[in-house]
Each structure stands twice: as structure tokens, then as C-alpha cells.
Amino acid sequence: MITPFLAVVKKELVSVIRDRTIIISLLIQLFIASFSSALLLGMLSLYDSDTIMRVSGEGFKIGMVGESPLSSFVRQRGLTVVPFDTLSEAEAVFFQNGVSAIFVVPEGIQDTAEIKLYLPDNEAVSSLIRMVVQEPLKQYENYLRGENGVEVRYADLKGKPATSFEFMYSVLLPMLMLFPAFVSGSMSVDSLTEEVENNTLQTLLSAPLSLNGMISAKITSSVIIAILQCIAWLSLLRLNDIAIQNVGWILLLALIIAGITSTAAMLGAVLLKDRERSQFIYSLSLLAAAAISTLLNVSPITTLSRLAIGDAYTGGWNVAIFAVVLVGLYFLLLKLSRRMTA
């Protein structure tokens, strides 16, 4: 019957709202989303180190020993250059935190120029400085080539770096779309095993609803929560002027993946009837499924990425593959569900 089914769905959604752990996790996601630009920058700087050069590093003081055109390139980058006559003078200021790093550059034009860079012991700061000074060093390298008669032709390509594009659509978007699905599976395990551990399963089955109907209602509630999170994430991405194609197919795929994870997790809970073991098997199954899907080139990560960029060869048929998997798992769950009452 529809009414008892919806009643169970409502009961599960209300229990989620009352669960402080889940509410806190949702609030944390919203809090992080409010700083999406800073989050994106931080994650992208790990994925693409050149990104940090375009948005930070200004304000560093760089000690320069020796007269060299490198000084002008460093200044153009937005850094402050402090000239020194000798390395000992520069080191004295460096150890007093007067400068962040020291360049020792040979004067004049030579066939081979050996540049020494002195960095602080702090690994995070030294890594950041290395990122920041990459561009001035590249410019100085080109300058030395020109002075030695070596001509290199470069093409000035407009647009965002390819790595930024790659990170956005192959890492960030799939992560945001699939993470709610992973959580929904974990919620499904807890939902069913709690009924067994609290001895409330028989009471729930006394309602005019079959065991399969009760299990389906619990899966439905988990999928609803997952898809609402996906809609929120897509909306936030669009608000940040990130172009996403095939939004409908992306949401449908996210819904199907949430259904797959919830059904698979529920299948483990039906067979084991224990929360800890079910959660453990569910986690291992996720890792195995991710590895197998990558090897078979049917990964949901790849499909999501191609849908988001509007790939002409990716569409409904690719989503249908995952729908077939969901149907197969669901019918298997219906066949084995009677073990809950055995």
C-alpha cells in the first residue's frame, strides 16, 4: 500500500532530522560551501601547484645577492626584492626573518648560470616560495636564452589552464555528486540494523506493509536525502559561475548511484544483521566496485565528468548501464530479504 510506504519514508526522514550527527555533517557541508572559493583554491593548489602563483605569494621579501635581471622579474611577480652585496649580509637578515628567501645569482651573461636559492626550514613556507618563484625563474631562463642567441617561440593561449578545467570536472564535481551516495549507503545500514538491534523490526512489520516494502521505503528515504544534497551542490557550483552541462542526466546518475550504494548496503545488512560487520563489508565493497569500474571503463566518475562538459558521445545510454546494475541489485535484495525474519 502507498500510504504505509510513505509513512515509513516520512519516519526515516524525521529520524534523520532528529539525528544530531547527520545534521551537524550537513551544516559542516554548508559551512564549507560558503567558503567554496577558498576551498577550491586550496584543493586546486595541491592538484596544480601553478595555481598558487596566480593568486598568492605577494608580500614575500626575497633577498638578492648579485645584480641580475632576475630582480626585475621577481618584482614583476609582486614580490619585494632586498639587494645585498654579500651572502653573509643576506644570511644575517634571513635568520632575523627580515627576508623569506635568498637568491644568489652570478653577474653577467654566461653559458651556464648556477642560481642558488636559500629557503626556510618550514616545509609549508618553503614549498609556497618555490611555487611563487617558478614564474620569475622561467622568465629569467628565457632571457638568458635570448642573450645567448637561442630563440624559442611561444604561443600565448587564452583561457583557463587545462589543469584547472581537469580538476573542476574530473575531481571536484564527481566528489560532490558521489559523496552523498556513499553516505546514503551507510545510513541504510544503520536504519535496518537498528531495527534488529532494538527489537523493533517485528513491530514495524505489524503495519500493513510487507518486508520488501519496508526495506524499499528505507532505501527511498536515503536516496531522497542524497539527491537533495546533490541539488544543493550543483546550485552552489552554478552560483560560482561554473558551467555544467546535462544537469538532468547528472542528477539522474547521482540518484541511481545513491540507489546502488543504498541497495548494496541494505543487502549486506540483510545477510549479516549486524551494524559493524555490515558497515565494514559495505566499505570494502565500495573500494572493490570503484576499482572494477575503473578497469572496465564504466566508472561513474568518468561518466559524470563527460556529462558535465557536454561530451557528445556521453548521454542516456551511459546512465542506463548503472540503472541496469541498480535493478539487478534490487531484485537480488528482494529475493534475500526473507532472511531478516528467519
The C-alpha cell at 124 is 609549508
Q: How far is CA 59 from the centre of its chain?
A: 30
By three-state DSSP, how is residue 35 classified? coil
Starting at the edge strand that comes first in sequence, how are the strands of the sheet with 61-65 ordered? 80-84, 61-65, 101-104, 116-118
By three-state DSSP, how is residue 113 classified? coil
If you search the block for the grid coordinates 544534497, which residue do you land on?
Answer: 229
Exposed/middle/buried for 283, CB within 10 Å: 0-12, 13-18, 19+? middle
> What is 295-339 written as a DSSP string?
HTT--HHHHHHHHHTT-TT-SHHHHHHHHHHHHHHHHHHHHHGGG
pLDDT of residue 55: 45
- The domain covering 51-147 belongs, at the CATH homologous superfamily level, to Periplasmic binding protein-like II (3.40.190.10)
pLDDT of residue 253: 94
Residue 104 φ then ψ, to 5°: -115, 110
CA distances from 136 to 68, 73, 81, 83, 157 (A): 12, 5, 12, 16, 19
Exposed/middle/buried for 47, CB within 10 Å: 0-12, 13-18, 19+? middle
| Local structure of residue 79 (DSSP, 8 states) | P
Written as tens digits, the pLDDT of the chain (342 aa) is 457 777 778 877 777 666 666 667 666 666 655 555 555 555 555 545 455 544 454 567 888 988 788 888 888 887 888 889 888 999 999 998 888 889 888 776 565 668 888 888 877 677 778 878 888 888 888 888 877 777 766 665 565 555 666 777 887 788 888 888 888 888 888 888 887 777 777 776 666 778 888 888 889 988 998 898 889 888 888 887 778 889 999 999 999 999 999 999 988 888 888 888 888 888 888 888 878 877 777 788 889 988 988 888 888 898 999 999 999 999 999 888 877 665
pLDDT of residue 330: 92
pLDDT of residue 324: 94
The C-alpha cell at 120 is 626556510
Looking from the CA of 308 toward its CB, the CA atoms found within 13 Å total 28
pLDDT of residue 272: 82
> What is 176-236 written as a DSSP string?
HHHHHHHHHHHHHHHHHHHHHHTT-HHHHHTSS--HHHHHHHHHHHHHHHHHHHHHHHHHH
Residue span(s) of the chain under CATH 3.40.190.10 come to 51-147
